[in-house]
Amino acid sequence: MRSLVIVAGIPIDDVTMAETVDRIAMFVEDGRFSGRTHQIATVNVDFVVSGSSDPELGAILQAADLTIPDGMPVVWASKLFGRPVRERVAGADLVPELAGLAARLDYSMMLFGSGPGVAESVAATLSARHSGLRITGYGGPMFDRGNEIDDQVLDVVRAAAPDILCVALGHPKQEFWIDAYRDKLDVPVLIGVGGSLDFIAGTKSRAPVWIREIGLEWLHRLATEPRRLAKRYARDFFRFTPLVYRQFRAMGIRVSEWAAPAFERVGDAVVVQPTGGLDLWASLDAFDRAGAFVVGTRVVVDLSRVDRLDQATAASLVALDYELRHAGSLLVLAALPAALARELGRLQLDKILTAVTDVASALEPSRFSSNP
């Protein structure tokens, strides 16, 4: 079960580097077996700001299989919201870790994008470090939009048939590209890695370890690339800070009084009624005993006794929706109080969460497919 924090509508996974690598290995095995593809995003402030203002991009990030906290301000925001992620997982550190994973488990990797010769150089460097690693680099042509590309480029990726495809096209182009072409590539794991390949290749300078450890790598990057980054960082700061502040004012950390949710089985549905708020992880055994995770089950969450959307409740609903969708089941929210519905809409979570006016409507057999 994913452990999440919601930052300006973007779900962020609470994962360590080791857990991230393990999760990606699980995705590779699942993709090899089922043919499913898994999109991973390395989320920093720019992702949050862009995703909150662009509904299409926000929907891609909300639907991602793993959203890694790659940015210290995102980590700090999670602490403010009372659901702190344990560590920053930087894309520049993750790519070499994935190379080690691939060498150990005989997965193939492909590095796609970045400047001329960079992907190829990084592939050669990582191959020298990890005996037996099957990895290719392809800088490929540059293009303006992530969903516009020559079919010949897709043919190159398909011919390489990687288990893990690292896409270094920069944000948000790489997220749009992965979303547009994942179903055409038959690759188990696709991850946007931004400028990580440039750091590994040494074409761009990375901050010393001590600067990274105190959360000021962004300041080092600004000092080394002021022309390219000053405007973006200023924009992100003046948008991210109000987003976090407004969310904290509206949601706080958690409501003061909670009660264990009540469960009722109605046909092929499980009706859950939380009081005050919902903490999925504290109630996980109760959900399991009620049969909520049985394939094909419709889980109806009656929110009539939850008058405020707090952080834990929002994270619980998003994590539960993800888990049920990928199990071939369905989450339906019912009887939302007006304040809660408004906050879901402000965070654009209403785009991924199905809601109806009352529990009776949610239980209508013909209204929803139990296999979304």
Per residue in 147-165, pLDDT (tens digit) is: 567 778 888 899 999 999 9
Model confidence band, residue 368 (pLDDT cutoffs 50, 70, 90): low
What is the pLDDT, as a whole number, of residue 364? 85
Alpha-carbon span 159 to 277, nearest angstrom: 49
4's enclosing H/E stretch is strand 4-7
Q: Could you give all domains of the chain from N- to C-terminal order, each with its CATH number?
A: 4-247 (no CATH), 259-362 (3.30.750.24)
Per residue in 44-103, pLDDT (tens digit) is: 999 999 999 999 999 999 999 999 999 899 999 999 998 999 999 999 999 999 999 999
Coil/strand/helix, residue 67: strand
Query: Is pLDDT larger for residue 229 or for residue 88?
Result: 88
Model confidence band, residue 370 (pLDDT cutoffs 50, 70, 90): very low
Alpha-carbon span 286 to 290, nearest angstrom: 6
Work out the burial of residue 222: count CB atoms within 10 Å of its CB; fewer than 13 is exposed, 13-18 middle, 19 or more buried.
Answer: middle
Do the Cβ atoms of 261 and 290 come closer than 8 Å?
A: no
Handedness of CA 21, 23, 29, 35 (dihedral sign): negative
Q: What is the mean pLDDT of residues 259-279?
A: 92
Residue 30 has pLDDT above 60, yes or no: yes
How many helices and strands (H and E) does the chain possess? 16, 13
What is the pLDDT, as a whole number, of residue 252? 74
What is the pLDDT, as a whole number, of residue 76? 93
Q: How many CB atoms are located within 10 Å of the residue 343 CB?
A: 21
Half-sphere exposure of 59 (CA within 13 A, CB side): 10
Of 62-76, 108-122, 226-240, minimum mean pLDDT range: 226-240
- Which strands make up the sheet holding 269-275, listed edge to edge? 259-266, 269-275, 298-302, 330-334, 354-356
- Which residues does 220 contact at the CB level (< 8 Å), separation at least 6? 205, 206, 207, 208, 211
344's enclosing H/E stretch is helix 338-346
> End-to-end CA distance of the chain, in Å?
19
Do the Cβ atoms of 319 and 15 come closer than 8 Å?
A: no
**Whole-Å CA distances, 169 to 33, 109, 175, 224, 255:** 28, 16, 9, 20, 41
Residue 146 has pLDDT above 80, yes or no: no
What is the pLDDT, as a whole number, of residue 199? 86
What is the pLDDT, as a whole number, of residue 308? 86
- Which residues does 345 contact at the CB level (< 8 Å), separation at least 6? none
The whole-chain average pLDDT of the chain stands at 89
- Which residues does 44 contact at the CB level (< 8 Å), separation at least 6? 70, 71, 73, 74
pTM higher than the cut 0.75: yes
What is the pLDDT, as a whole number, of residue 371? 46
Of 142-151, 217-226, 230-239, 257-266, minimum mean pLDDT range: 142-151
Coil/strand/helix, residue 179: helix
Work out the burial of residue 140: count CB atoms within 10 Å of its CB; fewer than 13 is exposed, 13-18 middle, 19 or more buried.
Answer: buried
Per residue in 86-100, pLDDT (tens digit) is: 999 999 999 999 999
Model confidence band, residue 40 (pLDDT cutoffs 50, 70, 90): very high
Q: Tally the residues of the chain.
A: 372
Half-sphere exposure of 215 (CA within 13 A, CB side): 12
